[in-house]
A and B are shown apart, each in its own frame.
Chain A
Amino acid sequence: MAEAAAMSGYLSGTLAILCINLIFAYGIFVPAAAGQINLGGAGFQAIGAYAAAALSSLAGLPVAYTIPAAMLIAGAIGFLISFPVLRTRGVYLVLATFAFGEMIAGFLLRSEFFGGAIGMVVPAHIELPVLALSAVAVTVATFYLLATRLGLAMRAINDDEAAAAVMGVNVRAVQVTAFTIGAAFAGLSGALYAHNFSFVEAQYFNSLLSIYVLLFVLIGGTQTAWGPLFGSLFFTLLPELLRIGGAWRYVIFGAAIVLMMVVRPEGIVTRALVHRLFRRPAIPAAEMAHGR
């Protein structure tokens, strides 16, 4: 009886992490789908977590206000930061976002207002159903976004920015939009984390977390919205499954990541794979040619 309760606690704990990781991964995926690598993910998650924590503990607001507010604040900061950050390209963009994440973590660690190294207790608590619902909403929203013309423009920029500009795409506006949406999603994941764990500390939002979530996205694949889903599942569940391996599990896990990158350098889920799986019946190209 007690064992069953413990199992279900372990299971719901793992599922809660999965939901938070999934939303966080979509926060990194959306700009990545438009060709921008964000290695400052933990910083945006921290903004959402601390915004929710402060509004909950200091202002006593309920989650119905703290979570949307945290998302808005993270999105607004993402919007403002995107202008200087998106002036950089490639590896410099990665470094600029990384520096931003470190700056946020450093600020929170030294800020008296946000509890410094002690962190903050978050009074309002949420359970797994809210997390699951949020994860589903963010997943659906991302699939929707990629199905629009804006999503098409994002994918075009990811493939060839210069050619997209020649097609009349406003590259800068699309990238700012993607970066802002990504920051809002990362902020949402932070707010959910804060309310589920009931406690936030700056040390949690470190560079290793930024690296992990970026790996979720890159290993899952940035070409379709399925990528983060598989990436998050892979990264959240595999370490748990590898627990049997004891101390060796991180070695096995690392080897699995390297193997993945060798076998599928464009991620687990590519567009070609989705096309093969959901192929529509043969297309009327030949029919059209005859039926003039």
Chain B
Amino acid sequence: MDADPALVVSGVMKRFGGLTVADDISFAVPAGTRMALIGPNGAGKSTLFNLISGVYPLDGGTLLLAGRRIESLPQRLRVRAGLARSFQNIRLMPHLSVVENIMLGQHTIASGLGAQMLPLSWQRGWRQLAEQSLHDAGIDVDPDAEVSGLPYGVRKKIEVVRALMSRPRLLMLDEPAAGLNARETAELSTFLKSVSRDGLTLLVVEHDMAFVHDLCERTLVLNFGRLIYQGPTDAVQDDELVRAAYLGSRRVAATGGRPAA
């Protein structure tokens, strides 16, 4: 196992105009753990994902991915460094087939001129790997079907499999269980536990607290761009600040919001 934490976020700042969306956020995700990131709507969860994955530049602070500074790397090099993510809304390529979407996820590991310039149909191995990954995740669809015609729950799962194809150290999922039914949610949880047993670290934004309790040992709570709780998932609902945040008491959260734990 890596000695370094999978991710260390230190003093991360981000302002959009006059609005501070990330206010001195610091936390670490130990390698091999499953951590949840929760908070009320507009707390800055997706923004934090966008900052870590490189969609937006930081206004301050540092990011360490397995001990390596990544905050000034472009998105694609953060992927190469071992970071993968999904989006809150499904962002599969609608005009690519299922297997092509999965093979797109291999982009950083299939480097080299041959892998880039030979027709994909001549490189059987990559397609077999993609089909095997679909199969392992229990996705039972025609690999050559266009994704736009598939049910929501299936597309959601395909997006997770695609994010796994770059063999990341850290996988960040933005509301993976949103819109899934109870059975699909349970299947997703089982699948994510099985992939994290192979050493993968998970950081998951989620509103479904049952799913969070089932999947994640530790939880971070964000409110108005500040981290107000980090600690065991079991103790999160006993925390005063967290309760205040979810009940909507703006004053308590804004004045007392220092990281606990």
Contacts and interface: CB of A to CB of B under 8 A. Distances in A.
Given A149-B110, A167-B79, A283 B103 contact: no
Most chain A CB within a 10 A radius of its CB, from B79, B87, B93: B93
B150 interface: no
A134 B236 CA distance: 68
B91 A162 contact: yes
Interface in A235-292: 270-272, 275, 279-280, 282-283, 285-286, 288-289
Nearest to A153: B107
B125 interface: no
Nearest to B162: A167
Interface in B129-150: 131, 135, 140-146
Contact of B140 (A164, A168, A286): A286
Given A152-B103, A168-B166, A275-B97, A283 B144 contact: yes
Interface size class of A (residues with CB under 8 A): 35 or more
Interface stretch (B112-120, B201-209, B212-220): B112-120
Interface in B59-108: 75-76, 79-80, 84-85, 87, 91-97, 100, 103-105, 107-108
B140 A156 contact: no
Interface in B4-26: none
Contact of A152 (B79, B100, B135): B100
Contacts of B76: 165, 168-171
Most chain B CB within a 10 A radius of its CB, from A153, A156, A286: A156
B140 A144 contact: no
Interface residues of B, number: 41
Contacts of B80: 168
A78 to B, nearest CB: 20
A286 B138 CA distance: 11
Contacts of B117: 148-150
Nearest to A150: B116
Nearest to A279: B144
A168 B120 CA distance: 18
Contact of A148 (B87, B97, B120): B120
Contacts of A270: 95
A197 to B, nearest CB: 35
B75 A156 contact: no
A168 B111 CA distance: 11
Interface string A158-192: 11101111111111000000000000000000000
Given A148-B118, A167-B166, A275-B146, A155 B75 contact: no
Contact of B93 (A160, A170, A171, A275): A160
A147 interface: yes
Most chain B CB within a 10 A radius of its CB, from A148, A150, A223, A282: A148
A272 B162 CA distance: 21
Interface of A: 144, 147-150, 152-153, 155-156, 158-160, 162-171, 223, 270-272, 275, 279-280, 282-283, 285-286, 288-289
Given A153-B104, A270-B95, 9 more contacts: A147-B119, A148-B118, A149-B103, A149-B110, A168-B75, A168-B166, A223-B95, A285-B143, A289-B140
